[in-house]
Structures are given as structure tokens and as C-alpha cells.
Structure 1
């Protein structure tokens, strides 16, 4: 198998080789963002990338790629979702479900949340600037009210939270997890 192909008449690496190369480049968060994005867009798939890595032992950066492949999430819809998820995992707050569909008690769709601990009905959302647009904001308010009515606690974070205050973000999620766990234990079944 060749690692090269052509795009617009120019020689380029194949999607698989590109994912392999990007996943081996530090820093770890950038490698994971790149791999998540390629997986989400279905440019490559995780089993094929794992096989490719196994077939290239001893290549520089392979230990990093192996770690990235254990953290990769094809459902991650944006680089910022990945950047939000990784510190939570690093803090031991996983496993966390990505792009979780929330249903009401009757089984009707309420909304999809970026990250979730379904058993605790805790959701974490990344809100980019587009959430400030009037129509988007109105939909968000209705959706958040519906999630609350379904018993969910939703924590919302911005780029500033994720990029400048990751320790605070992790602490807020950890506190919410502890609170929800205590409530779940205290709640009679």
C-alpha cells in the first residue's frame, strides 16, 4: 500500500497516513484534536488507524499515537469539545459519553448533549460564540429548560473556561459529579 495519493494534481499523503502522522506529533492535545476531527469526518476509522500503527513499529511518536488512540472519540464534533473532554479524562472523571441523546421518561427526544454521565443525568456543554446569536440563544434556553425538566444538570463552558481556566472547569465538573453521586445514593430506588 502506498502512503501517497493525488489531490488536485498534487501529491499528498493518504488520509490514513495523515492521521498517523498527526497523531504522533506533540503536544498530545493537538494530536488528539486532529485524530478526533479526522475520525468524526469519517476520513479514517479507528480500527484502520490502529492496524496502520501496529504495522509501523518503532516509528517516532508511536507511544503518543497509541495513547491518542485510547482517548480518541469519533463522536467529538469540534476541536473545543475534544479540548474540554481531555482534561476531564486526565482528572479521572471518565468514562464520559460523547453526543448523548437525552430522552424524557416517555422516551421522547429532549436534546443531545456534548458530554454526559447518563446514569447521573449530568451533561457538560461547550458553547462557542455562535450560541450568542439570537435564534440559537432562544433554542438553547428552551433546550436547557427541557433538559432540566427531564432531571438533567447541564454545565456550560466557553473557550475562556476551556483554554484559560481548565483547572476551574475540571473542579466545577468534579463538584457536580460528587453532588449528583451523593444525590443518587440518597435517592431511594
Structure 2
């Protein structure tokens, strides 16, 4: 009866260098070639039963990084707590060093200052500010602003440090655009779609809305919080995600929006399809609502109403 392969406890739950395991006497070369182990990178292996999520792949990548390199880009953002769909591990490597290329790695050769990297969860990772500096310059603006908003909202990112870093490296590609985005970034934002919606409004040169505005009754009681609001105009814009399709949630939404309208607010509602496929529709709708509100509040209109009645 064949024996089950021996699995050293030290190697069961983390990626490891095959050559190091052989030198330590934990495995032999023939044992390493068995189906018990799977190869992740050159000379990097993991037990076949170990969950292979992106964090595990980052740990595998760290084993082949040269001194001074770090997990960076989207993978660093992931390790700092932000979900991104990426199949490859993003790493940043000093320009004067090299790393063996692999289909699981996305390598960026760059200048890495001493304060650009730190140890996080046992791994060398670009700091939140360097991570935001890299992604804020490289991602599309519609992805970069939601990331900046989220990092500020969760108190991961120091705005003043990122601003200073960007000014010091103003000659780097994309730095001017990042400064513009950083001026728009708002820690009050609570969802990526809300951030995208706010970016569209800013790009259209419309008056900036207040994120997560609290609508209160004359008594001071909180009636609701609006995703985006123009308090002087009495207009709010709401993003309705898929969870609003739930019947119970839909009933709560109806009651909430009726209460907001009864309090005198104009309510605009937008969906993912609007944000992703019909931005011009959003701009036109918001612009018309603000213009109508301004017309209602104009002294001439108020005088006309008083004279009529």
C-alpha cells in the first residue's frame, strides 16, 4: 500500500523556496516533484491544498524580490484593503536591479526612495502614499478618484504627504493630473460609483456637490443622508446600486424618497448604467435641475409669484 507524501508542517500553509526547503532537509528534489506541491514561480512552491488567493501570490512574489523591491500598484492597494481584480502580482523594482520575468508578475522598474516602502503583513509593500502616487498617475481618472476617496475615507492615506510627494516628483509622468484629482478627493465619499458621479459633475464644470449631506427637519432630527447634495438649490443626486432591487430595500427607498420630497428637495436617481454608459445624460439632468432650482429661487420669480397671488 503506497504511503502518503510527507508534508512538513512548516511548508503546509505558506509559499516557500524549493531550494531552501531542500537545503533545510525538509524535502528532497523527488518529493518536490510530486503532485503534493504546485509551482507558483521559479523555485517557489505551495502545498496543493493551500488556498491560492491574491495575498498568497503576493507572499510567493516576495520570495523572489531583490533587496529594495516591494509589492506595489494594484497588489499593494489590495494589501492595504482595497479590492481590485488583477491576475498578476504587481511589483516595483529599483531601476538598477533585475528580476526574472514570470507570467504571474507585473514588473515596474522605477525609482524607490527610502520612505516609499514599508513592511505590512510581513511583506515589503509600497506605503499608502507611494501606492496612491503610482496608481493615481496610471489608472484612468474614473478609477483613480474612487481609490483616493476610499483611502482617505478609511484613514489609510495622508493627503498632505501624498501632496508633498507629488510636488517633489512633479516631473514624473501623470503628476499634474494627480494633483488635480487630489484636489477633488473627498473622504466623505462612501462608494466608487458616488466618486465617479462626482467626477462627471466636476468635469462638466457644474457646482460641486456635498457628499453624504445630512438632511434634517426643522426640529433638527435627521431625515436622511444624501449621496450628493446642493443644499442651496435643494437638489440631491443618489446612486442606486443593485441592492436597491431587493423588495424590502425598494419599499424602504420609496418611503425615504417620499419623505425627502415632502421636505422640499428635488431628488435625482442614477444607476450603474447611467454612470458607465450615459454620462452626458447625467450632466444634462443635473444641470437642468440646478437651473430650475435657481429659477424658482430667483427674486424676479418670487416677486412674480407674490404679485400673482
The TM-score, its normalising length taken from structure 1, stands at 0.93
Contact 2:170–2:176 (Cα < 8 Å) also in 1: no
In structure 2, the residue corresponding to 1:120 is in which secondary structure? coil
1:160 aligns with 2:254: no
The 1-side partners of 2:237 and 2:285 are apart by: 10
How many residues are treated as equivalent by the alignment?
189
Range with greater deviation from structure 2 (151-160 or 9-18): 9-18
Structure exhibiting the larger radius of gyration computed from Cα positions: 2
1:19 aligns with 2:132: yes
In structure 2, the residue corresponding to 1:38 is in which secondary structure? helix
1:117 aligns with 2:209: no
The 2-side partners of 1:138 and 1:45 are apart by: 40
In structure 1, the residue corresponding to 2:138 is in which secondary structure? coil
| Higher RCO (C-alpha under 8 Å, 6+ residues apart) | 1
Q: Which residue of 2 aligns with 1:90?
A: 203
Q: CA deviation at 1:71?
A: 1.4
Instruction: Map Cα deviations across residues 140-171 of structure 1 (whole Å, 9 max, x no partner).
Output: 11111111111001100000011111101111
The 2-side partners of 1:123 and 1:154 are apart by: 5
Q: Which residue of 1 aligns with 2:302?
A: 187
The TM-score, its normalising length taken from structure 2, stands at 0.58
Instruction: Map Cα deviations across residues 62-101 of structure 1 (whole Å, 9 max, x no partner).
Output: 1111111121121111110111111111111122111100
Bigger proportion of residues as helix: 1
1:47 aligns with 2:154: no
The 2-side partners of 1:138 and 1:53 are apart by: 46
Q: Which residue of 2 aligns with 1:177?
A: 290
- The runs of 5 or more residues in structure 1 that have no matched partner are none
Q: Which residue of 2 aligns with 1:62?
A: 175
Match of residue 131, structure 1, among 238, 244, 248: 244
Contact 1:105–1:150 (Cα < 8 Å) also in 2: no
- The runs of 5 or more residues in structure 2 that have no matched partner are 1-113
Range with greater deviation from structure 2 (108-117 or 4-13): 4-13
Root-mean-square deviation (Å): 1.7
